[in-house]
Structure 1
Amino acid sequence: MIGGGPAGLSAATWLGRYQRSTVVVDAGEHRNRFSEAAHGLLGSDPISPHTLLAEARAGLAQYPHVRLVSGTVTGVERTPDGTFRAEIDGEQITVQRIVLATGVRDRIPELVGITEHYALDVHHCPACDGFTIRGQEIIVLGAGDGVPAFAAELLDWAVRVRIVTDSSHPAVDAVQRTALDEHGMEVVDGVAEALIGEPGALQGVRLADGTLVPGSAVFFSYAHDPSSSIAAQLGCELDHEGRVEVNGFQLSSVEGVYAAGDLTPGLQLVPIAIGKGTAAGVACATSLRGHSTAAPAPDPAPPTRRFATGGNS
């Protein structure tokens, strides 16, 4: 298991329940580690990301064949016998299956005050944090032709949305500007330079020319880079955004390699990452049925036998 965020820990939980010997390698660089809360989890809404992961790790203690390792996987290769050799901070282990849950990295804007404001009144996910800013005036910072659609998501909650786009690298064309105008969304050309106001009490964004764009929250969308270098090493098929293509069982194009969470196509939300991790964990575990896993785990159950009546043993 490479990655110990919600998807990775979810997969590890189910591998543990199937009594598969599992090593979870976690570098601790989870995408929402700066966020105050994760939302939309049934029965735990809201919950801090730290608490969510701490409780998930504590839950793994009941599965003696699951081991958590702090570190970084620097390389993985397939061996001639069909297993995989992974290098973890200079040490090598051999495994029969791999679950990739390495997530994505958000490109954070270079603004004065960004560190203090991030996760309080600066966010990167409309679906995650839109409800918390309902009724406010919102500023969207971004680059690329997907920014208008990103900003339009916030209309479900915001009373006003303004897009700040660097005019030297235009992200909004004339057709898009017309559509935005029809929705009452203003486009301000300029370079965002600094956040104005105290953390949690944002007043707006100051541009390089001194203009103050008013707003009480900022959302940004510059780039969301999948951490897919290990997947690429293994030869997994990637989509046009660099995410790992998987089937309904979270199996990649490489036999024995599964992927889950934000690293795969689809909505990037914690509840969905957990669900994908569950699917990957169960599929990975059952793929080992009839094959012994690494010591000291017991041998998995033998393959299900189908009787002439069509029933399963």
Structure 2
Amino acid sequence: MDFEADCLIVGGGPAGLTAAIYLARYRRSVLVVDEAKSRCAWIPTSHNLAGFTGGISGTDLLQRIRAQAVLYGARIETASVTALERQPSGTGYRALLDDRRAVEAATVLLATGVIDGQPRMPYLYEAMQRGLIRVCPICDAFEVIDRRIAVLGHAGQAVGEARFIRGYSPAVTLLTLGEPMTLTLEERQGLDADGIAVVEDPVVAVGMDEDRSARVTLQGGRILVFDTLYSALGISARSALAGRIGAEMDVDGRLIVDRHQRSSVPGFYAAGDVVSTLNQIAVAMGEAAMAATAIHNDLRRQRPSS
């Protein structure tokens, strides 16, 4: 066996790394397997995370949390978990990494997050770092007050985001990408009442202008320019591992957990965006603390001497 641990944490974003800090401080052996694909790494500067009055970049935040986890003894490996199964005894788990190393763990915490739907465009990462492409109005709509804003989507989620953002700017436009605008009469009336423009002609290209504006080309050839484009193209939960062991999930593929982050499968926990929750760093960290504490106490009950 290459690794043995009290807890295998799958995912090295804010949730996974925060849980590693707590568990290591509970004197538990912890292995974090991280693919280095955290959604947090795409954040240019977060201004709504308490304590960082000047803001902090996603990469800087991850480096700080990671260093703290290592300081207390957590082990972090860059790899992918390719297989996960419960032990035949029904207690504990066995995982296989992409380099064929094997891991045995008493518990597993899934903190793999989600993947945002994004428009296909060159230099997407650069556009996000400039603030031209955004995915979270709860996080950063404050930074685009009174700007020209477009929301790219085609159904209910996009409508909700557009109406939310309307509280920050009078110039909000709803666009669609490749699919018809499937809006109910009530949604259209709500958008009209809020003064939100709806463009039915599909977007065929998104680019950047030299003045750092988002340049949108419509199917009919018309070009629109915005200061910021919010992508409301949905998210995909990275929950395949949970599906393999039969953990209960909602219709969007996010895990259903109790108030201590326990899933429907004994010894399997989840925290952060992969759970049906508010996609916020602060929430992910709070759930990680809950999960880590539950893991520690559950192991104490199973093994009173530990």
The TM-score with structure 2 as length reference comes to 0.90
Distance 1:203 1:106, change over 3 A: closer
Match of 1:213, as an amino acid? L
Q: Which residue of 2 aligns with 1:55?
A: 64
Name the structure 2 match of 1:305. Answer: none
Structure 2 CA distance for aligned equivalents of residues 199 and 23 of structure 1:
45
Gaps of 5+ in 1: 294-298, 301-313
Amino acid at match of 2:149: I
What is the total number of aligned residue pairs between the two structures? 294
1:71 aligns with 2:79: yes
**Cα distance per residue 1:154-182 (max 9 Å; x no partner):** 11212211001258522323331121001
Q: Is the 8 A contact 1:86 1:94 kept in 2?
A: yes
Q: How does 1:151-300 map to 2 (within 5 A)?
A: 151-166=162-177, 168-195=179-206, 197-198=208-209, 201-202=212-213, 204-289=215-300, 300=306
SS for the counterpart of 1:131 is helix
Aligned match of 2:6: none
Q: State the shift of 1:291 in Å.
A: 5.1
Unpaired segments ≥5 residues, structure 2: 1-8
Q: Does 1:19 align with 2:27?
A: yes
Q: CA, structure 1 residues 135+97, in 2 after alignment: closer, same or farther (shift >3 Å)?
A: same
For 2:113, the aligned partner's letter is G
The alignment partner of 1:286 has SS state of helix
Aligned counterparts of 2:177 and 2:28: Cα–Cα separation in 1: 51
SS in 2 for 1:97: strand
Q: Is the 8 A contact 2:44 2:128 kept in 1?
A: no
Does 2:27 align with 1:34?
no
In 2, Cα distance between equivalents of 1:80 and 1:132? 52
SS of equivalent to 2:242: helix
8 A contact 1:38–1:270 mirrored in 2: no
CA contact (8 A) 2:170 2:195 kept: no
Contact 2:42 2:128 in 1 (8 A): yes
CA distance in 1, matches of 2:179, 2:105: 50
- Structure 2 counterpart SS, 1:189: coil
Of 114, 119, 138, which aligns to 1:104? 114
Indicate if the aligned counterparts of 1:147 and 1:171 stay in contact, CA closer than 8 A.
Answer: no
Partner of 1:9: 17
CA–CA distance in structure 2, aligned partners of residues 258 and 203 of structure 1: 40
Local SS of the residue matching 1:289: helix
Superimposed CA distance per residue, residues 255-311 of structure 1 (whole angstroms, 9 cap, x where no aligned partner): 111100000112101111111111111111111115569xxxxx62xxxxxxxxxxx
Local SS of the residue matching 1:261: coil
Distance in 1 (alpha carbons) for counterparts of 2:179 and 2:248? 35
Across the aligned residues of Structure 1 and Structure 2, the Cα RMSD in angstroms comes to 1.9
